[in-house]
Amino acid sequence: MTSTRPVRLFAAVCAAVLTSAATLVATPALAQAIVVAPMAPPPPRVEVVPAPRAGYVWDQGRWRWEHGRYAWVPGHWQPVRVGYHWVPGHWAQRGPNWRWIEGHWA
């Protein structure tokens, strides 16, 4: 008489692995919170853009909504992704509110 315990254990491990893999595939890698502000952002600040830097693209400064008000976030360098171009983040009006559209490579 042979035991079915190793077969059941193997089946349980396979089920756990498949469930974990499905969860990882179903979850966006860069899930981000949706930011909505009740008023338009102030005009962008004038920033001095540094001299070009090989392998990087400048991501301009922006207004971030935090704790019920806008706060300035200065620009920074983004590493270049070959074959793509950088689309800067921006605020878009949706009805009476404003929604932040995150910068991304396209």
48 inside domain: yes
Task: Tell me, yes or no, whether 97 lies in a domain.
Answer: yes
In a domain, 71, yes or no: yes
The two structure tokens encoding residue 38? 């009740």
Q: Domain span at residue 50?
A: 36-105
Tell me how many domains the chain contains.
1
Tell me whether residue 7 is in a domain: no
8 A C-beta contact, residue 56 and residue 78: yes
78 located within any domain: yes
Quick: pLDDT tens for 26-54.
Answer: 444 556 688 999 999 999 999 999 999 99
Q: Is residue 3 included in any domain, yes or no?
A: no
Of the CA atoms within 13 Å of residue 44, those in its CB half-sphere come to 12
How do residues 6-21 score in pLDDT, each as one tens digit?
A: 656 555 544 554 444 4
Does 61 map to a domain?
A: yes
Ranges 6-15, 37-46, 81-90, 96-105: which has the least confidence = 6-15
